[in-house]
Amino acid sequence: MARKLHHLPKIVTKRYEDEFHHEPGTVPGTIIIDADAPPPIIFLIDYNQTNFIREQIATPEECISYLDTESISWVDVQGLGSQDILQRLGKVFNLHPLVLEDVVNVPERPKTEDYEDQLLFISRMVVPKEKICGFYSEQVSLILGKNYLLTVQEEPVHDCFEAVRSRIEKNKGIIRKQGADYLAYAVLDAIIDGFFPVLEIYGERIEELEEEVLIIPTPQTLQNIYQIRRELLQLRRAIWPQRDAINSLIRDGSELISQEVRIYLRDCYDHAVQVMDMVETYRELASGLMDVYLSAVGNKMNEIMKVLTVVSSIFIPLTFVAGIYGMNFNTEKSPYNMPELNWYWGYPICLVGMGAIGFGLLFLFWRRGWLQNSVTIKRN
């Protein structure tokens, strides 16, 4: 099929201050590629109601024969590390220079752009890490055409699309009876639903930190709280514009998205709102944990100061008695110069008296409730 090709932009390989940013005055459409980006791996799924093909292809040109048919083609490119493949991919799919720029220059803010015969959707995908708290985050670009969907991922390692691939392969549901717009919805819905396992991990971690803060708060606890707050902020930055982009698809619409699929997108939007609410809730809980930590540390310091105050209060009168009998007055000059110094049992009597004062003060503090913990924590 003949295609009208746009002028493809020049590709520049440059890492600028550890992030992908255009230098001032850069020509629009310039592409910045990370030198450490993995080489692209291209997977093709082509299907209709009766036939299904799933294979890994070596070159973008192998897609052309599938794009000329009435079947639905899903081309998934995993990796952004090859200039040549990206240029050829732009030629095969007739990508506008600005589309290719948004796809390759990561990270981009999630958004949607309508380019007449193509619809670009930039999204952020998160996948939970195994055995530890945290997540992998990468940009996923969706380019929707009349009978194809092109997805471009940063990394070839992690994604959440296997359930969609399985539904297509096993012909579950209505996905093979619908067009490319429904496939785009299914992929986008998988991206949004991928936030829930990550948030579940953070919910469990916050519960663990609550017990840790109340029982044995340590400086490491404070560091863990700060880390969770930062990571939740990253999740918020990922889902907030994504929610707005989905809403834009529903509100503004596109000729490439049918009215039926637009209804499905409402459900996807609801999931994004739910994710947003959970992120905000966990952020508030993390902020509350910070206050609880400071209160727990302050309360622990108060307990320490109380113990020291009790000890000081007991030894003050004892020190007073010891100081008096340590003055060593001469009893030969006057009977009023501490006659106790000449008592036969003076030393034991002094020790017993000092002990009685100490135990008497402890009993007094106990009766007044000053020896009890100021805060009693009960756990169900």
What are the structural domain ranges in the chain? 11-294, 325-380
Q: pLDDT at residue 172 above 50? A: yes
Taking 90 as the threshold, does the pLDDT of residue 12 lie above it?
Answer: no
Report the SS3 class of residue 321. helix
Q: What is the pLDDT of residues 286-303, one digit of tens each?
A: 888 888 888 877 777 777
* Closest of 313, 306, 314 to residue 372, by C-alpha: 306
pLDDT over 50 at 16, yes or no: no
pLDDT in tens, 36-88: 778 889 999 999 988 999 999 988 888 888 887 889 999 999 988 887 888 88
Q: Which residues contact 47 (CB under 8 A, 6 or more apart)?
A: 53, 71, 72, 168, 176
Q: Specify which of 60-64, 80-84, 127-131, 336-340 reaches the highest per-range mean pLDDT.
A: 60-64
Spatial separation of the C-alpha atoms in residues 300 and 296, rounded to whole Å: 6
Average the pLDDT over 121-137 and give the result: 83
pLDDT of residue 350: 81
> How many Cα atoms occupy the beta-carbon half-sphere of 207 within 13 Å?
6
Strand ranges for 34-190 from DSSP E: 41-47, 52-57, 72-78, 111-115, 118-128, 135-144, 148-153
H or E, element range at 373: none
Q: Hey, what amino acid is at 148?
A: Y
Q: Is the pLDDT of residue 188 over 80?
A: yes
Whole-model pTM over 0.85:
no
Specify the CATH number for 11-294; select among 3.60.15.10, 3.40.50.10420, 3.90.1150.10, 3.30.460.20: 3.30.460.20
Q: What average pLDDT does this structure show over 95-102? A: 85
> Looking at residue 30, what is its pLDDT?
63
Across the chain, mean pLDDT equals 82
- The reported pLDDT for the residue numbered 325 is 74
Answer whether residue 369 shows pLDDT above 80. no
* Highest mean pLDDT of the ranges 169-183, 213-227, 322-336: 169-183
- Position 352 scores a pLDDT of 84
Confidence category of residue 28, pLDDT binned at 50, 70, 90: low
Q: What is the pLDDT of residues 309-335, one digit of tens each?
A: 878 888 888 888 888 777 777 777 777
Q: Report pLDDT for 2.
A: 38
Q: Which stretch of DSSP H or E encloses residue 80?
A: none
Q: What is the mean pLDDT of residues 97-105?
A: 84
E strand residue ranges, 252-316: none
Taking 90 as the threshold, does the pLDDT of residue 342 lie above it? Answer: no
* Two structure tokens written together for 196: 């829930």
* 32 neighbors 104 (Cβ within 8 angstroms): yes
Predicted confidence at residue 31, as pLDDT, reads 66
Q: What is the mean pLDDT of residues 130-154?
A: 86
